[in-house]
Chains A and B, each alone.
Chain A
Amino acid sequence: MLMTIVVELKDQPGQLLKALEPISKLGGNIVSVYHQRDKITPLNRIPVEITIKIDEKKAKNLIEAIKKSGVIVRSYNEVRLTATTSLLLIGHIIHTDLGDTINRIDSTGFAEVVEMHISMPRLNEPSTAMVTISATNEDMLKKAINILRKTCMEKDITVIEPLELQ
């Protein structure tokens, strides 16, 4: 799942690493790190918003681990994917590295492939997949669709987009 964690860090070298280390230890992927320098606390700490992808089951442990390392966790929550659409892909979907195709969406941090239905009528014939993508909002969904379009153009896969996004 996608989540954001806001931590408060002292303005000293090495502080960020303390917060990031547990993430990689637990197999999480860092999507973005944003220093909110304009929101420095009265105690002179900098809020840092970290967006990550991590297995849902490990989320709790992660927060504990960050706290243990001495970093103040101000808040954390799951990023909700509010915009969803389905697209149809036609072509040699499997043999053009399906994993990679999906990963190009999943690795964005703002969108995920949440459902996929593949049909392979016959060997060596083009297969069809209905792919459902969710993103944090409609603009991000459009971005994700563009990434998919580019990927599929490279792989000679026909993309059939929905008429409208809602």
Chain B
Amino acid sequence: MIRIAIFGFGAVGRGVAEVLIEKRDLLNGLIGDYRVVAVTDSKGGIIDENGVDLRRAIEIKKGNGRLPEGVTTLDVIESVDFDVCVEATVTNIETGEPGLTHIRECLRRGIDVVTSNKGPLVVAYKELVRLAEKNDAKLMFEATVGGAMPIIKLVRNDLAGNEIYSIKGILNGTCNYILSRMEKERLTYEQILAEAKELGIAEADPTYDVEGIDAAAKLVILANSLMGMDVKFDDVERVGITNITPNAFEIAMEKGYTIRLIAEVDRVEEILRVSPRLIPIQHPLAIGGTLNAALIKTDTAGDIVVVGRGAGSKETASAIISDLVELFRCRGL
């Protein structure tokens, strides 16, 4: 019996809960029996060692905007027995908190962690990896980069034995939506941003996305986890998309280019940056909508391109579930 604790019960945490309910039969076949013994959010939580009623938890959260008071995540870590934590709290790339403390405390106790939270990995990747090794725990984070688009496990497992020269990726769906709409409609950045906000694709304060902060955080995770680098957020050279004009698309198109925000890490050329780039219109990275994509250059396998949905609660849940399956399938439980 795998005992799961879910920390963070926003769109991602609930998405995971829904998949755990809906796909129980399939998952049972892959990893055996499981139950969620605790669910927490920033205000409270529910503990039930016999299995939290996830449907009820989702209803409560939807109805009240919060889980019942009286339980904190740290209480759960200290007092509840569980095998794996799904850390899906809000990202803070400056402090990594509260996720960083949650992950540290779990790993220290030998509890495996599956996270969608970029903050802790951006702030303390090396430390967390060492902590996990020392305590014979695993830290999985497919959901931090590219949503449902496979990249971490793709490189680590399926491209194992390859040297990764570079990764160029579209790692922020909001920017890609804005740029591909500007390309099509030739409207201003402000007009398309307003549209994106209305559709819920951009946040009320879009800074985190449009200034390339989110993409830079993901790039740091890729550089550190897949390319053996040791870089920090501030090492990323970063230019956002706010200065791009409809006119720029027109001029670019005359030469057969479009514009996309590209996160690039290149070990040979020593490049670590997020910036708008000219992309030939027939290039695989010239994708539209909120999609994410990555072009991975390797020594043996040559070039690999992946494309997928980069955000959304179900999509992120997909990545978390795949980490869970990998964790428990490989142990033969």
Contacts and interface: CB of A to CB of B under 8 A. Distances in A.
B245 A128 contact: yes
A158 interface: yes
Contacts of B165: none
Contacts of A91: 243
Interface residues of A, number: 19
B331 interface: no
Given A160-B277, A161-B275, A90 B248 contact: yes
B252 interface: yes
B279 interface: yes
A91 B262 CA distance: 20
Given A86-B278, A91-B243, A128-B245, A160 B259 contact: yes
Nearest to A121: B247
Contacts of A117: 251, 254
Interface string A87-110: 110110000000000000000000
B255 interface: yes
Nearest to B277: A163
B243 A161 contact: no
A128 B275 contact: no
Contact of A90 (B243, B257, B262, B277): B243
A125 B243 CA distance: 11
Contact of B239 (A88, A121, A130, A158): A158
A130 B168 CA distance: 23
Nearest to B286: A163
Nearest to A132: B255
A128 B248 contact: yes
A41 B193 CA distance: 69
A50 B154 CA distance: 53
A87 B247 CA distance: 14
Contacts of A69: none
A141 to B, nearest CB: 13
A160 B277 CA distance: 5
A119 interface: yes
B280 interface: yes
Interface string A130-166: 1000000000000000000000000000101111000
Interface in B269-305: 275-280, 283, 285
Interface string B8-48: 00000000000000000000000000000000000000000
Interface string B55-96: 000000000000000000000000000000000000000000
Nearest to B279: A163
Contact of B247 (A119, A158, A160, A161): A119
Given A160-B259, A162-B278, A163-B279, A126 B243 contact: yes
Nearest to B237: A149
Contacts of A87: 278
Contacts of B277: 160-163
Interface in B221-268: 239, 243-245, 247-248, 250-252, 254-255, 257, 259, 262
A88 B254 contact: no
A119 B250 contact: yes
Which of B251, B262, B280 lies at the interface centre, i.e. has the most chain A CB atoms within 10 A of its CB?
B251
B283 to A, nearest CB: 7
A86 B285 contact: no
A135 to B, nearest CB: 16
B297 to A, nearest CB: 10
Contacts of A130: 251-252, 254-255
A121 B280 CA distance: 24
Given A91-B243, A130-B251, 17 more contacts: A86-B278, A88-B252, A88-B259, A90-B243, A90-B244, A119-B250, A121-B245, A126-B243, A126-B245, A158-B243, A158-B244, A160-B244, A161-B277, A161-B278, A162-B278, A163-B280, A163-B285
Interface of B: 168, 239, 243-245, 247-248, 250-252, 254-255, 257, 259, 262, 275-280, 283, 285
